Amino acid sequence: MDNWTFGITMTVVGTGATFLVLGILVFVIGLLKRGFPLSAGPNQNEKAKGA
Amino acid sequence: MLDGFVLALTGLAEGVRFMFSFQGLPNVVMLGIAAVLLYLAVKKGVEPLLLLPIGFGCLLVNIPLSDLMDKGGLLRFLYDIGIATEIFPLLIFVGIGAMTDFTPLLENPKILFFGAAGQIGIFMTLLLALALGFTQLESMCIGIIGACDGPTAIYVTSQYAPQLLGAVSVAAYSYMSLVPIIQPPIMKALTTEKERLVRMPMAGASTVSPRTKLLFPIIVTAVTGLIAPKGLPLMGTIMLGNFMKESGVVQRLTGASENEIANIVTLFLGLAIGGTMEGHAFLRVETLAIFGLGFVAICVDTGAGVLLGKLMYLLSGGKINPLIGAAGISAYPMAARVVQMQGQIYDRRNYLLMHAMGANTGGQIGSVMAAAVMLSVLKGFGMA
């Protein structure tokens, strides 16, 4: 494989795949946050009871 | 009897004679470079944890006729057990994972894209290195300097261009420490004053549950491992460290990973890298070219991150400060601090640190991912 084919392929695939994988991770993090939302902590429950 | 004394004294003086001969000139120059590295580490505080052992390793290997990098020598032993086997950078990654808090990234996941933009310098530098006549594998290793990620650079270079390991490692760590000098002019040149003044307030309380933090390293390992399995040792070890930290059940292992193991490995790694800086092998035009290309790589990374920040500024209706794009490299937490400081130059009440930390941890994932993708593409080409 000649240098330019190697370089251009590596650049296009490398940049594209890096963005793609991180995009997938952004999506998965969104799912995780929706699937496991932060529940009210004990302090907040106690405050609610106190009120 | 007298002959014996003469022979003994000749043997003792052989090193000095070699040093002052033409053949010993590269060693003399490298002893000077070792002195500069030690000075930077001790007096200037430039990445001392790495530059001090690298400088001392360089000193040891360049003392004429020293056999520390010959078979059975101390530095050769460290090189063989830790760098040739790729174990040292991976153990350091466990420690980095244990030290890293991904919460700012999880709070605002879109910031992860800055971690991808911050790797564009890798690929641009690869093209430049090819144009300068480096081989394909060498060009890839030189490009990795743009990851701003020492362990990744060492991991990849030790596999594919071990003859460049000293130059690539020293360039990577030197430029990481120069981030506060290299980045600000680029950040200023590419942004308008209006953009630099954008405030990005943090949400009052965290929105990330402990379970999300716990599952994050497992999901990242699985997703990235499936797409780019050749990079799994890199991503797997950093996520192992983070999983141990977030689980909270192996505090001794977490503590050991981020302290004792990381410290011991850093010492051995630095010495072994210094051992590759023997004058006759190191003092070549290629070494200068590698330092120049490394500089280009980090400038392009910074520029690409800021330009993506400008795009996100436009798409978000002016809610994202483009400066945080500069933190999308792996130099953690230095790049985030640079963004915070630059933001406060223009508005003392602008606190960009947590957003920049998110981009910076995104840069850590991005740099490993870029390397993982390159290794997998190499495998696809039948070169790995």
Query: Cβ separation of A29 and B112 shorter than 8 Å?
Result: yes
Report chain B's C-alpha Rg in angstroms: 22
Query: How close B137 gets to chain A, by Cα (Å)?
Result: 10
- Other C-beta atoms closer than 10 Å to the C-beta of B232 total 18
Query: Cβ separation of A23 and B113 shorter than 8 Å?
Result: yes
Q: Give the pLDDT confidence score for residue A45 in this predicted structure.
A: 47
Bridge partners of B208? Answer: A37
Q: What value does the mean pLDDT take over residues B217-238?
A: 92
Neighbouring residues of B315: CB distance < 8 A, sequence distance ≥ 6 = none
Q: Judging by beta carbons within 10 Å of its beta carbon (0-12, 13-18, 19+), is residue B202 exposed, middle or buried?
A: middle
**pLDDT for A2-17, tens place per residue?**
999 999 999 999 999 9
Among partner residues A6, A11, A13, which is closest to B136 by beta-carbon distance? A6
Place of tokens 């000098």: B181
Helix (H) or strand (E) holding B214: helix B210-227
**pLDDT for B92-148, tens place per residue?**
999 999 999 999 899 989 999 999 998 999 999 999 999 999 999 999 999 999 888
Query: Cβ separation of B109 and A15 shorter than 8 Å?
Result: no
Query: How close A41 gets to chain B, by Cα (Å)?
Result: 10
Q: Judging by beta carbons within 10 Å of its beta carbon (0-12, 13-18, 19+), is residue B381 exposed, middle or buried?
A: middle
Bridge partners of A37? Answer: B208
Give the ipTM: 0.84
Q: Give the pLDDT confidence score for residue A48 in this predicted structure.
A: 45
Rounded distance between C-alpha atoms, residue A3 and residue A11, angstroms: 12
Q: Give the pLDDT confidence score for residue B3 in this predicted structure.
A: 77
Q: Give the pLDDT confidence score for residue A40 in this predicted structure.
A: 59
Alpha helices in B72-119 (DSSP H): 74-78, 87-99, 103-107, 112-117
Q: Select from B113, B152, B212 the residue whose CB has the most chain A CBs within 10 Å, as the one to mutate to test that interface.
A: B212
Place of tokens 């060693």: B27
Query: How close B59 gets to chain A, by Cα (Å)?
Result: 37
Question: Mean pLDDT, chain A, as a whole number?
Answer: 82
Tokens of B150: 């020492």
Partners of A6 on chain B (C-beta within 8 Å) are: 130, 136, 381
Tokens of B310: 């400008």
Burial code of B261-277, b = ≥16 C-beta within 10 A, e = fewer? bbeebbbbbbbbbbbbb
Q: What value does the mean pLDDT take over residues B185-213?
A: 88
Alpha helices in A1-51 (DSSP H): 3-35, 42-50
Query: How close B225 gets to chain A, by Cα (Å)?
Result: 10
Residues of B with CB under 8 A from a CB of A: 105-106, 109-110, 112-113, 115-116, 119-120, 122-124, 126-127, 130, 136, 139-140, 206-209, 211-212, 215-216, 219-220, 223-224, 227-228, 362, 365-366, 369-370, 373-374, 377, 381
**pLDDT for B167-185, tens place per residue?**
998 888 888 878 888 999 9
Rounded distance between C-alpha atoms, residue B191 and residue B326, angstroms: 11
Query: What are the residue ranges spanned by the domains of chain B?
Result: 20-61+68-380
